[in-house]
Chain A
């Protein structure tokens, strides 16, 4: 089918993407501003980046954030993959309705509720707030996203591939590790990256569950932002955006390459 884009369609796309990207672009450009006034250009400078790396509490927070994100993303990937398998491969097990409810609800649930409820839970069981409480909280939230991503892949998965493996003599567990897992691996990786990013990004849930000695980067940034614009925050944001851009570009290239490879194999 050859669809044609009307002028209206093109305008919608251009304006839409301008709206999405212009603010980010401005933020990055003005992180190189020499002036302390964030909205007035005062010449090119990298001084705020230098200041940023000398800001020890901020660096400390960034390190904590990375560790939490990594740990919680790994836990969330394992739990989310198991949940996705349960939802696609186990039919109607008892309590399935409750299970799907618990998987979908955290994704739309306002973060203030999730954050508060987890905090009250940790207080009730006497767990001190800090690194571990944030990690557990983030795992709970992000495993649901992993579930949905992996479940979508399992839904379109051709079961006859597994049947073929079993027909050729592979027992179920080996079938899973030698056929199923490699084929759903891209979605698991995507789920992991999503979990990692969500954890890095989270302010609200982390604020509820943070304790002395474990402050995350978003919490630090937030407390600075509340005081007004800060060129240092611009620089920190630009770095985070840069990391994401490089990551996404790498992932795109990798998936392009693997798509090319499968295409070549198919021919």
Chain B
């Protein structure tokens, strides 16, 4: 290592230091605050919780913290049901996304190489348009007198208007629609890299095509399946906009619960406790996702 003058070393140290400090200040510290407030009590004041941190009375501050909000969460089965229902809806949506996304990604990977960049661009393009607008577009399709009903009635398939809007089905459709690029792209990335001769080798060794698909293609696509599933599952659990616009009042989701505790009930400590609960559910998938992503990026040639 060549000794460099101090100003240069300082400049070089700033490269990691600036984003690092930014993330600590605006990502990590806010979490600690959420944790702290989840242990506080609501108050009719500004800010609407107590105790407020005070350097002169740290012990007194600590002694006022309690698990009361979490007791509320455990005690009221609304939150338990919301949690379970969020995880269930996210899991089913992820499975549906795999079902819908795999054939698309597979076909893209098999398309002639000169067409593939266009296909990828077409998958990404909707992502660049507003999420909110894309969900809004489905309201017009799914409502009882909406486009879907009109189309199916015109085709003579149904005679009564469908009422999909404000049901869980609508939430599934919305999540699959909004998250499809996040499923297709990682799948495509692994399938596209896959060596065709592996399939030929399997055929050559007496394995019929459909069996080769399960014995070779699917196992080798697993990294993409895992990345895509996590990329969809994690945000889906905490989804707010989709259940709010497409789901009915009976569609319980934890993100929606947090939103209403905060905005409607103005119970910041309870909202914080819900955020912590959501985080606890997601910490394992997030850690796995980070490892998968970091490994994928770091082992690239």
Contacts and interface: CB of A to CB of B under 8 A. Distances in A.
Whether A and B touch (Cβ < 8 Å) is answered with yes
A148 B296 CA distance: 11
Contacts, number: 247
Nearest to B121: A252
A51 interface: no
- Nearest 6 Cβ contacts at the A-B interface: A110-B238, A86-B16, A117-B30, A9-B107, A12-B103, A83-B19
A247 B184 CA distance: 23
Given A27-B133, A121-B33, A105 B140 contact: no
A93 B139 CA distance: 49
B137 A26 contact: yes
A51 B11 CA distance: 53
B140 A140 contact: no
B27 interface: yes
A99 interface: yes
Interface residues of B, number: 91
Contacts of A252: 121
Contacts of B196: 1, 3
Interface residues of A, number: 88
B28 A102 contact: yes
Contacts of B282: 109-110
A167 to B, nearest CB: 15
B132 A201 contact: yes
Interface of A: 1-5, 8-10, 12-13, 16-17, 19-21, 23-24, 26-27, 30, 38-40, 79-80, 82-83, 85-86, 89-90, 93, 95, 99-106, 108-113, 116-118, 120-121, 123-124, 136-137, 139-140, 143, 147-148, 151-152, 155-156, 173, 197, 200-201, 203-204, 207-208, 218, 221-222, 225-226, 229, 233, 237, 240-241, 244-245, 247-248, 252
14 contacts: A2-B112, A3-B111, A20-B177, A24-B137, A100-B290, A109-B286, A112-B275, A113-B258, A120-B37, A139-B26, A143-B22, A156-B301, A237-B133, A240-B133
